[in-house]
């Protein structure tokens, strides 16, 4: 027993122990790379990729319901005007705090979108001014801002009003 401990704690024994630990860590890391990221652990035999996990970058959707969808035709000018008015309020020119800012943009939003905006800090808005003319494209309106493009999906609600149902930002 004493001889075995002497061998283990000698220079050569310590080198062997470190080598076994390093090889074990490498083997675990390689095994982790083979594990799918979708939580299935390959149980269903599907090829899981990280693309499936990162496909959605926010809450903007192309889902269009009811008669308020204008996928094949141009949006009316009222919808474009409403999108620009929202963009101007979204930029927070009055310097509102979080709740005041949400209250100022809520009239432009659908209920679901307004709920998603709760708790958003207006200081996180990445632009300061509208920098060009809006460009409608199907149900969406792209509003160029000084640091990127704000894309708003518009839906018509009862009474002919237009509301923003999805917000997407692309930095330029």
Tokens describing residue 165: 């149902």
Cβ neighbours of residue 62 closer than 8 Å, sequence gap 6 or more: 153
Cα 51 from Cα 20, distance rounded (Å): 35
User: What would the mean pLDDT of 25-53 be, rounded to a whole number?
Assistant: 58
Residue 50 has pLDDT above 70, yes or no: no
pTM: 0.59
């Amino acid at each position: 027993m004493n001889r075995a401990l002497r061998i283990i704690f000698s220079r050569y024994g310590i080198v062997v122990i470190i080598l076994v630990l390093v090889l074990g860590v490498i083997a675990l890391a390689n095994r982790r790379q083979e594990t799918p990221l979708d939580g299935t652990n390959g149980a269903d035999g599907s090829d899981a990729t990280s693309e499936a996990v990162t496909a959605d970058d926010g809450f903007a959707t192309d889902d269009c319901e009811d008669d308020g969808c204008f996928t094949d035709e141009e949006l009316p000018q009222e919808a474009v005007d409403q999108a620009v008015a929202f963009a101007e309020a979204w930029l927070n020119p009055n310097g509102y705090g979080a709740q005041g800012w949400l209250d100022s943009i809520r009239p432009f939003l659908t209920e679901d979108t307004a709920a998603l905006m709760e708790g958003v800090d207006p200081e996180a808005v990445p632009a300061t001014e509208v920098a060009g003319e809006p460009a409608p494209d199907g149900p969406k309106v792209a509003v160029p801002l000084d640091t990127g493009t704000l894309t708003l999906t518009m839906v018509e609600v009862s009474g002919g009003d237009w509301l923003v149902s999805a917000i997407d930002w692309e930095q330029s």
